[in-house]
A and B are shown apart, each in its own frame.
Chain A
Amino acid sequence: MRHLWILALITAALVIAGPLFLDRFTVNVLTRSMTFAILAVTVDLLWGFTGILTFGQAAFFGAGAYATAMVLTHLGSTPGLMVLGLVLSIGLPVLLAAAVGWLTFYPGASDFYATVISLVVPIVVTQLIYSGGTWTGSSSGLVGYFALDLSLGGYFRLAGLSLVAVVVAALIFVRSDAGRVLTAIRDNETRCAYLGISTQKVKIALTAVLAGVTGFAGFIYANSSGVVAPENAGFVFGTQLVVWTALGGRGTVIGPALGAVAIDYLSAQLSGQMPFLWQLVIGTLFVVMIIFMPNGLAALATGWRRMRRPADGVSPELVALPPRAGRGGPAGAEPLLQIEKLEKSYGSQKVLEDITLEVRRGELVSLVGPNGAGKTTLMRCMTDGKVASGGSVRIHGTGIHGMVPDQIVACGIGRKFQVASVFDSLTVAECLRMARVSHESPSFLRSADSLSLPQAAIEILRLTGLDQHLGREVSLLSHGQKQSLELAMVVSLEPELILLDEPTAGLTAAERATIGKVLVRLTSELGLAAILVEHDLDFVRDISSRIVVLHQGRLVLDGTVEEVVNDEIVKRIYSGGDHV
């Protein structure tokens, strides 16, 4: 962090001194380049960090620039109106972005869709500008209004200091606990949702806030250049921003900023003489970089740094949370989960039919059945209110129909997936912190020194030795460690009901025993309920309090371990099921 501030101060000093020794041409060109670099930083936050590939920043930039220029042209340029222009240049893009975000980010929307919409937005905004007649100046743009009374050097400093401020703010943010949520969404959006994080809301908020920053850059541009034109809002400009970000190095903040300044400055120097060749060179460079060096030029620097970095980074101190009040009521009271006549069909094919099931506190219910019996589908029906085709699922008596996963998680359900679902680019500690985001808002400024987790989660970490590797990047963990980490994350949610889809698949016998121990303790001692999908009947027999058998989409048996294990039907299903 110290390095960051020193670097920021040096850059700011350079920016302030710049106009004294740079010629006028360079000052003008760099003023624009630095304004555009602010946009590249916002593109990087969206694309590099959060995984939203967007061409739409141009539209928000245009909206901000036009808001300013229209106020100055049609209303006047008194200080009061200048402030109005500033407010509108930020507010308008924020509103626009919130609307676009709502349209783009809904549960189940694909990444492609977001990208294509981001292409439509600049086209629509440009069309509005063209159709705006004298209000927007149509294709000619607006010119000849009185802008902020600054010298060329003044604008240079305004743009430069704004860029430094945005870069510093962005760096602080992405390194903070809140900023890591973005990377978590990029790595594994589903897991985020099942940790109770509303990824849609995060994305919409991010889009809106960054649109505000972009609009502010538009305000600077409208003032410093004294003209706005439709192409400022066009998708060609939007794609340029992405090109700069890609070449500079996505996911580094500084890379895209430098990339934007360097390429824009170079193009001012070179493209004037050889426009088509310049485009060709940039295009070729871009394709080659995307294929062979997806992290841009900055990757050279960070790659070198990474090689020198030890495997384990900084690890925070673990702090045990006091047990939640009102928990651990008597086992067997009011049912926690009630499933009634649940159905799921794909067209005419029924995958689940007439499932009725209740689960109470303290129970560890195992769900068994041959492949294709519908076990995983049943799990999905319990965690996503849009999956079931009929019947009802209630938690604490509340129906979950139509709810999205993060809402259901908030009702007290945690789900562990079959294949370990964690965040590969985060550290162990950061992954665990993600599980706490829905309970305590993370800091936007810093990375906390301590990590508060429920005692049970800490125990899982201790038992599996993960507490020794809190600072290690998850991609370096073994398969078993990842499974344990995910279980610890789910437990950190402090759910009342845990759904586990084959938590022991691919684990060693020792790891298996450890997990079994943890599960028994969670249910019988802490009063949680758990539903476990499992193939290993021995494991099931050892830990379950009840077993439910699914076969061909129907619930064929629901009883104690003894009842089920000795049941003839189960034996038949299992002996025949292996061949199905």
Chain B
Amino acid sequence: MTLVLDIITTAAILFIIATGLLTIFGVLKIINFAHGAWLTVGAYCAVAVGDLGWNPWLALPVAFVTGAALGGLTERFIVRPLYARPLDAILATWGLGIIIGQLITLGFGRDVQFTAALLPGTADILGTSYSIYRLFALAAAIAIGLGFSWLMEGTRLGLSARAVIMNEALARALGLDTRRIRWVTFMIGCGLAALAGTLLTPLTSVDPNMGVAWLVGSFMLVMVAGQSFAALALACLLLGGAQVIVSTYVSPILGGITVAVLAAIVLRISPKGFSRV
């Protein structure tokens, strides 16, 4: 039972982390290498909210808005000139990640920061006691997933974004303001990343480099998932599940590289990954 819960909640956490990246990659065809930095920004939003003495739950909207606002600036000044040079966009966002990391260090110091535990303690589920927060993470992942499919399927913005995904030239010809769609998408992606950072705080320490550890796993999951949220969910479940199983039965050290290595092999065998799901 614990194993099943471990698998599901691990997948949920991976999903939360990777959604922001997938949003940007799916629509803009750009890998945001500053993703780790946005996670960190989100986590420090939680720290700032704590310092101000606000309700810790307020950190969630604060992080989303901060991430989105900074993302908007980033798109405008750094990413927009580079759409034609996607590899350079990788580098520029990577450089941005360094800058954000150093600015956080200069502002908050190198020390590990602490935030209030949002939901401490355990709950009994079918006879096993399990961390409430991890269960909450599962709920949050489902909420984000559903919220996003609503956004994509049920709103005008989603429709436009899907048009851009399929054929940007055509979308532009049809009179869609693709430049604006890209901008809004980037903002949402960064907002989601920051939100994920906040959601992580009860599970990890908060320090200027915290995002880096999550980076590679998210990249690989997104490469495997392509553009689809359903595929991302499946990839998180399968690869995250493999990680938990390898960690439990073989070695947690191998577990740490399971997602990346398996994803690479999946892509080698089936270059489209899970994107056809």
Contact between A and B in the complex (any CB pair below 8 Å): yes
Q: Is the beta-carbon distance between B257 and A124 smaller than 8 angstroms?
A: yes
Confirm or deny: B156 has a beta carbon within 8 angstroms of a beta carbon on chain A. Answer: no
B69 within 8 A of A: no
Question: At the interface, yes or no: A390 with Cβ under 8 Å from chain B?
Answer: no
Q: How close is A12's CB to chain B, nearest CB, in angstroms?
A: 33
A residues in contact with B92, CB < 8 Å: 287, 290-291
A239 to chain B: which residues have CB within 8 Å? 94
**Inter-chain contact B220/A287, CB cutoff 8 Å:** no
Specify which of B98, B253, B261 is in contact with A279 (CB 8 Å cutoff).
B98
Q: How far apart are the CA atoms of A283 and B87 in the complex, in Å?
A: 17
Produce 1/0 per residue, A217-257, CB < 8 A to B.
Answer: 00000000000000000000001001100100000000000
Report yes or no: A116 in contact with B219, Cβ–Cβ below 8 A.
yes
Is B59's CB within 8 Å of the partner chain A?
A: no
For the complex formed, measure the closest distance between the CB of B258 and the CB atoms of chain A, giving whole angstroms.
11
Residue from A51, A115, A283 within 8 A of B90 (CB atoms): A115
Q: Which of A116, A119, A127, A239 has the most CB of B within 10 A?
A: A116
A279 CB contacts on chain B under 8 angstroms: 98, 101-102
User: Which residues of chain A have C-beta atoms less than 8 A from B86's C-beta?
Assistant: 111-112
Residues facing B in A241-289 (CB within 8 A) are: 242-243, 246, 276-277, 279-280, 282-284, 286-287
A103 and B268 within 8 A (CB): yes
Chain A's interface: helix, strand, loop or mixed, by majority? helix
A29 located at the interface, meaning its Cβ lies under 8 Å from any Cβ of chain B in the complex: no
Closest residue to A107 on the B side, CB-wise? B271
Is B257 within 8 A of A131, CB to CB?
no
Task: Write out, one digit per residue, whether chain B residues 3-47 have a CB within 8 A of any chain A CB (1) or not (0).
Answer: 000000000000000000000000000010000000000000000
B96 at the interface (CB under 8 A from A): yes
- Residues of A near B219 (CB, < 8 A) are 116, 119
A119 to B95, CA, bound (A): 15
Q: Say yes or no: A111 contacts B106, CB within 8 Å.
A: no
Interchain CB contact under 8 A, B99 and A283: yes
On whether A115 and B87 interact (CB within 8 A), knowing A103-B268, A120-B220, A286-B95, the answer reads yes
In the bound complex, do residue B87 and residue A127 qualify as a contact, i.e. CB atoms below 8 Å apart?
A: no
With A53-B91, A294-B85 already in contact, the answer to whether A287 and B268 are too (CB < 8 A) is no
B128 in contact (CB, < 8 A): no
B88 on interface, CB distance cutoff 8 Å: yes
In angstroms, how far is the closest chain B Cβ from the Cβ of A216?
27
Task: Give the residue of A108, A111, A115, A242 whose beta carbon is less than 8 angstroms from that of B271.
Answer: A108
- Are A280's CB and B88's CB within 8 A? no
**Contact across chains for A276 and B106 when beta carbons are under 8 A apart:** yes
Residues 167-187 (chain B) with a chain A CB within 8 angstroms: none
With A111-B87, A276-B102, A280-B102 in contact, do A116 and B94 touch (Cβ < 8 Å)?
A: no
By a CB distance below 8 angstroms, the chain A residues around B216 are: 116, 119-120, 123
Question: A124 with B261: in contact, given A116-B223, A291-B82, A294-B85 (CB under 8 Å)?
Answer: yes
Which residues 80-102 in A have Cβ within 8 Å of B in the complex?
102
User: Are A280 and B260 touching (Cβ within 8 A)?
Assistant: no
Does A106 contact B253, Cβ atoms closer than 8 Å? no
Q: What's the Cα separation between A113 and B257 when bound, in Å?
A: 17
Q: Is the CB of B271 within 8 A of A103?
A: no
- Cα–Cα distance between A14 and B118 once the two chains are bound (Å): 63
**A8 contacts B by Cβ under 8 Å:** no
Q: B103 contacts the other chain (Cβ, under 8 Å)?
A: yes
In this complex, the interface size class of chain B, counting residues with CB under 8 Å from chain A, is 35 or more
Report the minimum CB–CB distance from A389 to chain B (whole Å): 14
Which single residue of chain A is at the shortest CB-CB distance from B273?
A: A113
Q: Answer whether residue A117 sits at the interface, using C-beta atoms and an 8 A cutoff.
A: yes
Complex-state Cα separation, A107 to B271, whole angstroms: 9
Contacts of A111 in B (CB 8 A): 86-87
Contact mask B97-114 → A, CB, 8 Å, 1/0? Answer: 011011101100000000
Query: How far, in whole Å, are A127 and B252 apart by their CA atoms in the complex?
Result: 12
A123 to B219, CA, bound (A): 13
A103 CB contacts on chain B under 8 angstroms: 264-265, 268
Given the interface pairs A111-B86, A127-B253, the reply to whether A106 lies near B98 with Cβ below 8 Å is: no
CB pair A290 B223 closer than 8 Å:
no
With both chains docked as a complex, state the minimum distance between the C-beta of A87 and any C-beta of chain B, in angstroms. 28
Contact call B264/A120, Cβ cutoff below 8 A? yes
- Do the beta carbons of A286 and B91 come within 8 Å of each other? yes
Q: How far is the CB of A157 from chain B (nearest CB, A)?
A: 34
CB of B6 to closest CB in A, whole Å? 21
- In the complex, the answer to whether A280 meets B261 with C-beta atoms within 8 Å is no
- Is there contact, CB below 8 Å, between B31 and A242? no
Q: Is the CB of A280 within 8 A of B103?
A: yes
> For the complex, what is the distance from the CA of A547 to the CA of B214, rounded to whole Å?
58
CB distance from A402 to the nearest CB of B (A): 14
Shortest Cβ distance from residue A326 to the other chain B in the assembled complex, whole angstroms: 38
Contact across chains for B95 and A290 when beta carbons are under 8 A apart = yes
Residues of B within 8 A of A113 (CB): 223, 267
By a CB distance below 8 angstroms, the chain A residues around B268 are 102-103, 106
Does B163 lie at the interface of the complex (its beta carbon under 8 Å from any beta carbon of A)? no
B246 at the interface (CB under 8 A from A): no
Q: Which of A124, A130, A283 contacts B98 (CB 8 A)?
A: A283
CB–CB B102/A124 < 8 A: no
| Bound-complex Cα distance A108 to B85 (A) | 19
A300 within 8 A of B: no
B220 near A116 (CB under 8 angstroms)?
A: yes
**In whole angstroms, how far apart are the Cα atoms of A47 and B90 in the complex?**
13
Q: A113-B267, A120-B220, A120-B260 are known contacts. Are A291 and B94 too (CB-CB below 8 A)?
A: no
Q: Does B242 contact A (CB under 8 A)?
A: no
Minimal beta-carbon separation of B144 from chain A (angstroms)? 23
A291: B residues at CB distance < 8 A: 78, 81-82, 88, 92
12 other contacts beyond A291-B78, A291-B92, with CB at 8 A cut-off?
A53-B87, A106-B271, A109-B267, A112-B86, A115-B31, A124-B261, A130-B253, A131-B253, A280-B98, A280-B106, A283-B99, A290-B95
List 20 A-B pairs, Cβ < 8 Å: A106-B268, A111-B86, A112-B31, A112-B86, A115-B87, A115-B90, A120-B264, A124-B257, A130-B253, A276-B102, A276-B106, A280-B98, A280-B103, A287-B78, A287-B95, A287-B99, A290-B91, A290-B95, A291-B78, A294-B85
The 6 A-B residue pairs with the shortest CB-CB distance in the complex, in nearest-first order:
A283-B98, A287-B95, A286-B95, A280-B102, A283-B99, A290-B92
